[in-house]
Structure 1
Amino acid sequence: MNTSSDPRTTLIIPTPETGDSPPDDPLRSPSLYFNRELSQLDFNFRVLAHAQDERVPLLERLKYLCISCTNLDEFFEIRAGTLRHAQDLGFGPGADGLAPSTVLARIHDRAAELVSAQYDCWNRVLRPALAEAGIRVMGRDRWNEAQTQWLRDYFRDEIMPVLSPLGLDPAHPFPKILNKSLNIVVVLEGRDAFGRAGHLAVVRAPRSLPRIIQVPEEISGGPNDFVFLSAMLASFVDDLFPGMQVKGAYQFRVTRNSELLVDEEEVDNIALALRDELAGRGYLRAVRLEIAEQCPPAIVQALLHNFDLTENAVYRINGPVNLSRVQQIYDLVQRPELKFPPYTPRVPKGLDTMFKTVAENDMLLHHPFDSFAPVLELLKQAAEDPNVLAIKQTLYRAGKDSPIVEQLVQAARNGKDVTVVVELRARFDEEANLGLADRLQEAGVQVVYGVVGYKTHAKMMLIVRREGQKLRRYVHLGTGNYHSGTARVYTDFGLISADPRIGHDVHLIFQQLSGLAPSLKLECLLQSPFTLHAGVLARIAREAAHARAGRPARIIAKMNALNEPQVIRALYDASQAGVQVDLIVRGACTLRPGVPGVSDNIRVRSIVGRFLEHHRVYWFANGEAPELFCSSADWLERNLLRRIETGFPILDLHAAERVFDEALKNHLADNVNAWTLGADGHYTAIRPADGETPHSAQGSLLARICG
């Protein structure tokens, strides 16, 4: 196995500043920590690399480009927005030694590189490749007379009636601009019917309008020809200002902070408080301005002034400002040969008698390779079974028209005692969760909103069933959400078990969430914010003790992100003791591997493939008695210290072997979709060495499980 030195696949994370006075503990030195925000930003370069990879089907490459764009949007809405808030409050530097102002400056520089790479990929790589494949996204300079006439007619018939252009003057101040909406700023000359002199106007594109318009084949000459709405607005905007001369029209988009701040201890009803906050979310503080690159500097300055932004927040765009909307083409174009081949998830045996099946053996599900159907079937059978007395469930993200919610409603109607812990603060799902909470309550379900100050991120289902003279508990625990849609595109583990030890622990946690129970003494589960953090630290320390005693010691962990300083220091200490540590971290990682004398025994890799790597798995060698946990928690400060999470052991030996083989050993062998992080901050693509067989972790699971 070798690593590519191609500069297109070698990514750089800025090196943290060390500060003036290093701390007494050398493992606290800022030089040993990458910045989380910059590391998260660089993840999108790895996603974008797949858009440039000719081994990937063309329309899938388009999707990777769009994912990198939507990820960047969310980065500014949450990470950059939170940093600006921290800067305003005077927060000091984190473990990396960087102050919020320094991080924001570096974010601009790195994000500008990413934006340039995204539009270069679109303009020079994907758009020409799509055209060659018969899928044309036609710019204004490519429209012939017939196409121009059809587009103008479409504009007048379908678009103009819903537009409300606003001329800017003392009676018409700058309008409110919705977060991430498409807008056109228009430079005008002349006078209107009232004798008002034209200068500037703004045209806002309602979200009801399609951002991509498909041109009929009889007009365009091809079955898959498209035009951006932004191009049509800029081309025909003169129709909106009759009698005046349009001197220029420039698209722009503003991104706003979307992190809702609700002081839960100061409100009587968190649901009502969230509804109030959601009403204004689209108009919170601006954090980024995207503007057509040919827009005159004076107009850019006027927009920056209006949004209270500086030059450090502007990004000049060579193309549509809402490039992520090109993903609509993926759904509109029916060209299977340009997409990943379809697959059919495996459906385990025994679905028709779930309680009997699970009573005999634990059922381990590895999504998306294993179907999500057993989870739905378990709940469906529970809703209908007269012997089932109670169902308890956590919901973080469930999706629209969730079959999980439908079964919970049906269970309540069938007389079951149903309790659902709904996390209202699940980012960007707040409104959906408020709606499903209302629906559940209307059906007689007891809805609990979790614990003040702690998001309930644990994925748990508990079913209490009478069997003879006893009650038996059946549980489902997962690393991912109860969302049948993401179960098709995220890699996650789910465990369905009737093990009384696990059932007892889950029962206690639900009691704690719905009541006012004290801290718990759990038999086998680890729980945030109480025992998960301490449990991880203790197990890392145990491996270090094994290594210092001359015994074999190893840690393998897989997660989405890593930044918790105590865990990182514990891993550094374990490395110094001789513990071999392999970390598979998809996104942000603030640990610096490969530092001589500190982390030379730690290796970090990231996998970016067809499916979003999402499961969290922790494995500790523990001498001859290895321990393996699956979890809902990343090794982030928020997950380990400020959320309600679970880490659940895989007690069945066969299931534990599956998890180890499929999620750890398999991913450590990947030389197709893997990147390795170096001590200098470079992420480098791993490729097969000469004569080495290519191995894709996800591809091997598709072949092995789905056939």
Structure 2
Amino acid sequence: MKSHMTRHTPANPPEARAPRRTAARATTREAAATSDAAAESLSDPGLYLNRELSQLDFNFRVLAQAEDATVPLLERLRYLCISCTNLDEFFEIRAATVRHAQDFEVPLPPDGLSPGTVLRRIHERTAELVDAQYQCWNDILRPALDDAGVRVLARETWNTRQRRWLRAVFREDILPVLSPLGLDPSHPFPKILNKSLNLVVVLKGKDAFGRSGHLAIVRAPRSLARIIRLPPRVSGGEHDFVFLSAMLSEFVEDLFPGMEVEGAYQFRVTRNSELILDEDEVENLALALRDELLGRGYLRAMRLEIAADCPEPIVRGLLQNFDLPENAVYRINGPVNLNRVIHVYNEVDRPELKFTPFQPRQLPGSDAMFDRIAAGDVLLHHPFDSFSPVLELLKQAAADPGVLAIKQTLYRTGRDSPIVEHLVQAARNGKDVTVVVELRARFDEEANLGLADRLQDAGVQVVYGVVGYKTHAKMLLVVRREGRRLRRYVHMGTGNYHSGTARAYTDLGLMTVDPDIGSDVHQIFQQISGLAPAIRLKRLLQSPFTLHAGVLSRIRREAQFAAAGRPARIVAKMNALNEPQVVRALYAASQAGVRIDLIVRGACTLRPGVPGVSDNIRVRSIVGRFLEHTRVYWFANDGAPETWCASADWLERNLLRRVETCFPILDPAVATRVREEALETYLADNTNAWELQPDGSYRELAPAAGEAPHSAQSALLARICG
């Protein structure tokens, strides 16, 4: 894989540094100066990778799964679609954020790259990714699918019978909902919805009013399926499909009777989708968000995808219309909405072409959840452990006469979530139910607005979080009367309360009756809902108050142990890493001799392996069957190790601008399980692991000579699910 960054050589190599003075001889001023100089050297922009470019490169690792012949064929198709969908979201959010920084002269990130430079590199790297995606589709997956009897038929391959049936479908089901628009002074260029399928059509001749044809736009409404399945009686194959874009291109002349179609070229625009609300000026967040959502699909354009054979003058006209630079256009050798082929994965029932199904492990005693949790801490490692105990806890709490109150945070839950049903039932049964619904969960805003309305209609007290801080913490609290005392039952997790993602993402959840944790969770809920002041927690770390400082202090503590000649180690797993102070602290710990292993799925701005700076740091990314979503921080702590799980990545937004929670694993047996299952087995992975190099590129790992292959996810499936 090509690198997009250059290797950094430290400005002051270790051998050029002055000898270290003893503490007895160093004055306070000298010590402070030395500390400032060290901090400044670790702020060198060359020591930092760019967050956006690092995030973009994650999609090459996803695409590699689509190219891997050992992965089941339809799963490879799914990975291709994921890489395409990820790229859409990248332009909607990350590239749009860089464009915003360019417009408003936002201070440069730690890597020192200007927004203009980052945007240029984004477009260069994206061009490589798009070429690789369509090469994978055209040259690898589509022929392999054909051989397996799953055909996505190109226009030139349609036989007479197929063409006749497709034309009938077009005329009966598609043409009536299309509204072509000829471009002239009375018909200006129409609004183009974000990520919608469109055709620009070149016409010749005159219409019924004597107007000479030139260009027209055909927009495909979202109501139309993007993939059409042909019946076996027509096609002769059981699994034959056609892209809607192919049908529009083939039969577009039906929309312009009496005129000649000289060309029809599909195109698609990706727009900024980041909603920005000035919450200080908003009296009702829900109403303001509803208004913002109405215009989201028509925000600033970020990227244009268009058919490869589209004439250059038309491309230039579209770029001008969307106010895009020339490097923001991507000429596509295939359907512009390639991610829509995921419909084929969903429609085709061919078990031999997909991953072997598995049954998550069920928790013994889950028919009596309160007794089960009271007997000892319960760890759930999803998707290997079933998510049903979380649902059971809520269900039983809703019906239990001893339960007085339920409090929960909801960030993403999915449609028709059983969690919502249980919360509604609890409220109807007279429980005091409070739910913190984060309305600003990206791309789930509309769903969460509906969820909040439904909960409020059932009598649930709904809180929209904290102004200026997204509530990303994953907490569930059940207050139960047991005899003369009240007992708090808590569930905390690294992932969302979403039954679907609990089958597809790796996450950890802890159920406990620890009184200190229960008290902390209760206080955090009071703080969120009651506008309470900062609180002193007994067990938990919380963003934006103590989590950032807590992480830094523990990294620095390991450095102090290493400097004193004691064993020191840090192992952490997360989705992304970019917080500058954390990166600097890790560099300093590495210089002190701390061995650091980071498992970072996506963006990572830290450069490992830089001589004299990060020699002791290794960074790896795992890409496999399940999306790695677990956040775990482990510190050796001079023989008294600490294990923490969290809702937060080591990102600026998570540590400083969100409400997050980080909870300790106190039970030694549970802590051992977390360390073994969430960390050690991933450090031993040599089949789904990629190692970050000093120059910012990733090297795919493979078993060494004589070494057995080891996939962490496969090992956990075998170990936990049997």
1:13 aligned partner = 4
Question: Are 2:677 and 1:662 equivalent residues in the alignment?
Answer: yes
What residue number does 2:404 align with?
A: 389
- Counterpart CA distance in 1 for 2:8 and 2:93 is 24
Which whole-Å CA distance do the structure 2 matches of 1:263 and 1:511 have between them?
Answer: 25
Offset at residue 26 of structure 1 (A): 0.7
Is residue 195 from structure 1 mapped to residue 210 from structure 2 by the alignment?
A: yes
- Partners of 2:145 and 2:388 lie apart in 1 by 36
Say which SS state the counterpart of residue 496 (structure 2) adopts. coil
Secondary structure class of the residue paired with 1:594: coil
Give the aligned partner of residue 552 of structure 2: 537
Select the residue among 489, 493, 517 that pairs with 1:502.
Answer: 517
Report the secondary structure of 2:690's partner residue. strand
Decide whether the 8 Å contact of 1:16 with 1:30 is kept in 2. Answer: no
User: Does structure 1 conserve the Cα–Cα contact (< 8 Å) formed by 2:9 and 2:611?
Assistant: no
CA contact (8 A) 1:14 1:38 kept: no
Distance 1:119 1:222, change over 3 A: same
Partner of 1:527: 542
**Alignment check: 8 A CA contact 1:150 1:219 kept:** yes
Structure 1 residue 216 and structure 2 residue 216: aligned? no
Structure 2 residue 488 is matched with structure 1 residue 473? yes
Map 1:96-495 to 2 at 5 A: 96-495=111-510
Q: Distance in 1 between matches of 2:6 and 2:537?
A: 42
Q: Match of 2:85, SS?
A: helix
Asked whether the 8 Å contact 1:187–1:248 carries over to 2, the reply is yes
Residues 8, 47 of structure 2: 8 Å contact kept: no
Q: Which moved more, 1:212-221 or 1:270-279?
A: 212-221
CA distance in 1, matches of 2:9, 2:527: 43
1:524 is paired with a residue whose SS is coil
Q: Separation in 2 of the partners of 1:672 and 1:661?
A: 18
> What stretches of structure 2 of length at least 5 have no aligned partner?
12-35
Cα offset for 1:13?
3.2
CA distance in 2, matches of 1:55, 1:691: 20
CA contact (8 A) 1:258 1:282 kept: yes
Judge conservation of contact 1:593–1:600 (CA < 8 Å) in 2: yes
Residues 341-394 of structure 1, C-alpha deviation per residue, up to 9 Å, x if partnerless? 000000111111100110111110000000000000000000000100000000
Structure 2: distance between partners of 1:592 and 1:639:
21
1:706 pairs with 2:697 = no
Partners of 2:7 and 2:360 in 1: CA distance:
44
Contact 2:476 2:492 in 1 (8 A): yes
**Alpha-carbon distance between aligned partners in 1 of 2:210 and 2:553, rounded to the nearest angstrom:** 77
Q: Match of 2:106?
A: 91
Find the residue that maps to 1:557 and give its secondary structure: strand
Q: Alignment partner of 1:173: what SS? A: coil
Query: Structure 1, residues 245-304: CA drift from partner, whole Å, max 9, x if none?
Result: 000000000000000010000110111110000000000010000000100000001111
In the alignment, which of 569, 575, 581 is matched to residue 560 of structure 1? 575
The residue type equivalent to 1:562 in the other structure is L
What is the identity, as a one-letter code, of the residue corresponding to 1:367?
H
The TM-score normalised by the length of structure 1 is 0.98
| Distance in structure 2 (CA, Å) of the matches to 1:143 and 1:17 | 55
Q: What secondary structure does 1:634 align onto? A: coil
> One-letter code of the match for 1:445?
V
**Does the 8 A contact of 1:543 with 1:555 survive in 2?**
yes
Structure 2 Cα separation of the partners of residues 118 and 312 of structure 1: 18
Using the TM superposition, give the Cα deviation of residue 130 of structure 1 relative to its aligned residue in structure 2, in angstroms: 0.4
Q: Which residue of structure 2 lines up, in the alignment, with residue 7 of structure 1?
A: none
SS of equivalent residue, structure 1 residue 684: strand
SS at the partner of 1:651?
Answer: coil
Please report how far the alpha carbon of residue 16 of structure 1 lies from its aligned counterpart in structure 2 after TM superposition: 8.5
CA contact 1:18–1:97 (8 Å) conserved in 2? no
1:581 is matched with: 596
Give the C-alpha shift of residue 90 in structure 1: 1.4
Contact 1:388/1:465 (CA < 8 Å) preserved in 2?
yes
Over 4 Å off, 4+ runs:
16-20
Matched AA of 1:322: N
Out of 642, 659, 669, the residue aligned to residue 644 of structure 1 is 659
Matched residues in 2 for 1:16 and 1:531: separation? 35
Check whether the contact 1:41–1:72 (CA below 8 A) recurs between aligned residues: yes
Shift of 1:663: 0.6
Query: Which residue of 57, 61, 79 corresponds with 1:46?
Result: 61
85-94 or 662-671, which moves further after superposition?
85-94
Deviations 1:456-501 (A, max 9, x none): 0000000100000000000000000000000000000000101101
CA positional deviation for 1:17: 9.3
For residues 167 and 570 of structure 1, the distance between their equivalents in structure 2, rounded to whole angstroms, comes to 60
SS for the counterpart of 1:28 is coil
Query: Which segments of 5 or more consecutive residues in structure 1 lack a partner in the other structure?
Result: 1-9
Q: 1:394 touches 1:461 (CA, 8 Å); kept in 2?
A: yes
User: 2: distance between equivalents of 1:368 and 1:19?
Assistant: 43
Q: Which amino acid aligns with 2:625?
A: R
Q: Percent identity?
A: 75
Contact map agreement 1:16 1:97 (CA 8 A) in 2: no
Give the alignment of 1:619-698 within 5 angstroms.
619-698=634-713
C-alpha separation in 2, matches of 1:548 and 1:265: 47
Partner of 1:68: 83
Equivalents in 1 of 2:7, 2:464: separation in Å?
Answer: 39
Task: State how far apart, in whole Å, the 1-side matches of 2:188 and 2:226 are.
Answer: 27
Deviation at 1:14, TM superposition (A): 2.2
Post-superposition Cα deviations, 1:52-109, rounded to whole Å, max 9, x if no partner, equal 0001000000000000000000000000111111111012321001011110000000
CA distance in 1, matches of 2:348, 2:244: 18
| Paired AA for residue 431 in structure 2 | K
Q: What root-mean-square deviation, in Å, do the aligned CA atoms of Structure 1 and Structure 2 show?
A: 1.4
For the 8 Å contact 1:560–1:616, the answer to whether it is kept is yes
Letter aligned with residue 329 of structure 2: V
Tell me which amino acid in the other structure corresponds to 1:418. V
Whether the aligned pair in 2 keeps the contact of 1:32 and 1:591 (CA below 8 Å) is yes
Letter in 2 for 1:86: A
Amino acid across the alignment from 1:481: N
- CA offsets 1:534-580 (integer angstroms, 9 cap, x no match): 00000000000000000000000000000000000000000000000
For residues 421-462 of structure 1, give each alpha carbon's deviation from its aligned partner in whole angstroms, at most 9, with x where no partner exists.
Answer: 010000000000000000000001110011100000000000
Paired residue type of 1:287? M
Contact 1:562 1:588 in 2 (8 A): yes
The amino acid that maps onto 2:418 is P
Q: Is the CA contact (8 Å cut-off) linking 1:489 and 1:611 kept in structure 2?
A: yes
Structure 2: distance between partners of 1:13 and 1:336: 39
Task: Give the equivalent residue in structure 1 for 2:586.
Answer: 571
Q: What CA distance in whole angstroms lies between the structure 2 residues aligned with 1:305 and 1:571? A: 46
